């Protein structure tokens, strides 16, 4: 049985690549958060800032925080 080498794997919701650059994971989080930009733009006229803050801490903040101990303290990616 041959072992296949892979460049990137998703493990516990974090994309880990073979060079520990974290570009794939950061791109994944970025695209996930980018979807909420237009939603907040439309909601800002309907809700006050407190409700928008609750929505932010419910949908966006967990994506930023999850696994940050692993990938945030690495060197700059090229």
**Secondary structure element (H or E) that encloses residue 17, with its range:** strand 14-17
Angle at CA 47, nearest 5°, toward 41 and 53?
80
Mean pLDDT (whole number) for 39-44: 90
**Does the structure show a pLDDT above 60 at 31?**
yes
Give the Cβ contact number of residue 71 at 10 Å.
Answer: 18
pTM for the whole structure: 0.74
pLDDT of residue 75: 60
The C-alpha atoms of residue 54 and residue 73 are separated, in whole angstroms, by 28
* Measured torsion, CA atoms of residues 48, 49, 50, 53, in degrees rounded to the nearest 10: 130
Q: Are 71 and 24 in contact (CB under 8 A)?
A: no
């Amino acid at each position: 049985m041959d072992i296949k080498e892979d460049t990137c794997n998703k493990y516990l919701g974090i994309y880990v690549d073979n060079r520990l650059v974290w570009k794939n994971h950061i791109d994944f989080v970025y695209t996930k958060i980018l979807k909420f930009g237009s939603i907040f733009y439309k909601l800002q006229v309907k809700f006050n800032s407190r409700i928008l803050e609750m929505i932010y801490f419910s949908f966006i903040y967990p994506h930023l925080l999850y696994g940050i101990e692993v990938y945030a303290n690495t060197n700059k990616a090229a």
